[in-house]
Amino acid sequence: MKTDAPYEVKDAVSPEELAGLRLLADADLHAVAGLLEDCPVKVLVKDEVLLVPGATSQALYLVLRGRLRVHLDSLETDPVQFVETGEAVGESSLIGRKPLSVYIVADASTSVLAIERETFWSLVYAEHAVARNLLTMVIERMQANNVLVAERMRRREQHRRQTRVDALTGLRNRAALVDLLRRQMLRSAMREKPLAVLRVDIDHFRRFAREFGHPAGEEVLCTVAQILQDQARPTDIAARLDGDHRFAIILPECDENGARGVAQRLAEEVSKAVIVMPDESILPPMTVSIGIAEMRAFEKAEELLGAADHALVRARSRGRNAFSS
């Protein structure tokens, strides 16, 4: 992938093409023609990269024919902007001598006129119309860059959410849970407040999914997730673990006795839930087993989750549809 590569192709630039360039609008073309006659023309094939993030543009590129597209972060993402015939790219980087933050790629066979730095400033000083057009273009580019920055932030936030949220249930995933549990444990220790964790497992889920099918299994998972959310306080944090039928809930400022009350309500709500499929068939009632663990002094997040797992094993050994600490 090259940028500012040698210009093997030297097409002649017609007066009509010069007249169509926004930078030269209202300029005396005869006055600037001599400055532009030695500027090279580069013909880009479709999908050829002109500029990449991190590179500093060594020229102002004017699109004579074709179209360029702008990509954020990766060439695999959809373009966020197009640069049409007559428009320019690279002016902000050239003027500010700062690296670009986007990919500039040919959207089709595209010819660009490259005006290198020295010629660029000579052109600006020689013709007031060029200086005026350049100022307008730079202001518009700054506004467009603000939009691109906002779009990049939106995409990063979307990616962050996708990597921390379970796609099926909308609950947090295990990575998010562990991260939040560490923070909550530190906060609880500093405030000398209790904290408990529940480990919730849907009883006989794999057997149920084999008998009634994958869609029914997903419906059950979503129903249980919704119950966990409905029963949680605003400060509680529910998660689905490892894309499985296992869930966990962080209960800040809640001791073991309080957690037992939460576990009992959850178990009752799940057992009472009526799950109706899209074809209006009703699934058999489900139950859950729940393990309870309260944070101990100097305990780590993984240790607290492990204690809740051991409690869950004890609850399941009682025949399931039970909770234990």
Distance CA 254, CA 236 (A): 10
Query: 157 and 178 share a domain?
Result: no
DSSP helix/strand/coil, 211: helix
Query: 55 and 157 share a domain?
Result: yes
Query: 152 and 51 share a domain?
Result: yes
Query: 45 and 186 share a domain?
Result: no
Whole-number pLDDT of residue 260: 92
- CATH code for the domain in which residue 261 is found: 3.30.70.270
Does the residue 23 lie in any domain? yes
Does the residue 2 lie in any domain? no
Render each residue's pLDDT in the chain as its tens digit; 325 residues: 444 444 445 556 777 888 888 888 888 888 788 888 888 899 999 999 999 888 888 888 999 999 999 888 788 888 888 989 989 888 888 887 888 888 899 999 999 999 898 988 888 888 888 888 888 887 777 676 666 666 666 766 665 555 678 888 888 888 888 988 999 999 999 999 999 999 999 988 888 888 888 888 888 898 899 899 888 888 899 999 876 789 999 999 999 999 999 999 999 999 898 887 777 788 888 899 999 999 998 889 999 999 999 999 998 888 878 888 8
Q: To the nearest 10°, report the CA torsion of 64, 68, 70, 71.
A: -150
Does the residue 130 lie in any domain? yes
Does the residue 91 lie in any domain? yes
Contact residues for 315 (Cβ-Cβ < 8 A; gap 6+): 289, 290, 291, 322, 323, 324
Select from 301, 322, 300 the least CA-distant residue to 311.
322
Select from 70, 72, 71 the least CA-distant residue to 82.
70
Query: 155 and 219 share a domain?
Result: no
Helices (H) and strands (E) in the chain, counts: 10, 13
Query: Is the CB of residue 233 less than 8 Å from the CB of residue 196?
Result: no
Q: Among the three residues 106, 127, 162, which one is the final residue of a domain in this structure?
A: 162
Distance CA 314, CA 291 (A): 8
DSSP helix/strand/coil, 38: coil
Query: Is the CB of residue 93 less than 8 Å from the CB of residue 56?
Result: yes
Query: 84 and 123 share a domain?
Result: yes
How much of the chain is helix, strand and coil, in % rounded to 5? 45, 20, 35
Query: 181 and 153 share a domain?
Result: no
Helix 117-126 and helix 128-164, axial crossing angle in degrees, nearest 10: 130
Q: Among the three residues 114, 135, 162, which one is the final residue of a domain in this structure?
A: 162
DSSP helix/strand/coil, 25: coil
Does the residue 95 lie in any domain? yes
Does the residue 4 lie in any domain? no
Contact residues for 77 (Cβ-Cβ < 8 A; gap 6+): 71, 155
Contact residues for 323 (Cβ-Cβ < 8 A; gap 6+): 260, 263, 264, 267, 289, 290, 291, 292, 315
Bridge partner list, 81? 70
Query: 102 and 195 share a domain?
Result: no
Distance CA 68, CA 87 (A): 10
Does the residue 238 lie in any domain? yes
pTM of the entire structure? 0.54
Domain range spanning residue 241? 174-324
- CATH code for the domain in which residue 112 is found: 2.60.120.10
Q: Among the three residues 108, 139, 162, which one is the final residue of a domain in this structure?
A: 162
- Cβ-based neighbour number of residue 105 at 10 Å: 21
Pairing type for strands 41-44 and 110-116 reads antiparallel
Query: 19 and 144 share a domain?
Result: yes
Pairing type for strands 237-241 and 246-252 reads antiparallel
Query: 190 and 292 share a domain?
Result: yes
- Report the domain count for the chain: 2
Query: 71 and 127 share a domain?
Result: yes
Does the residue 5 lie in any domain? no
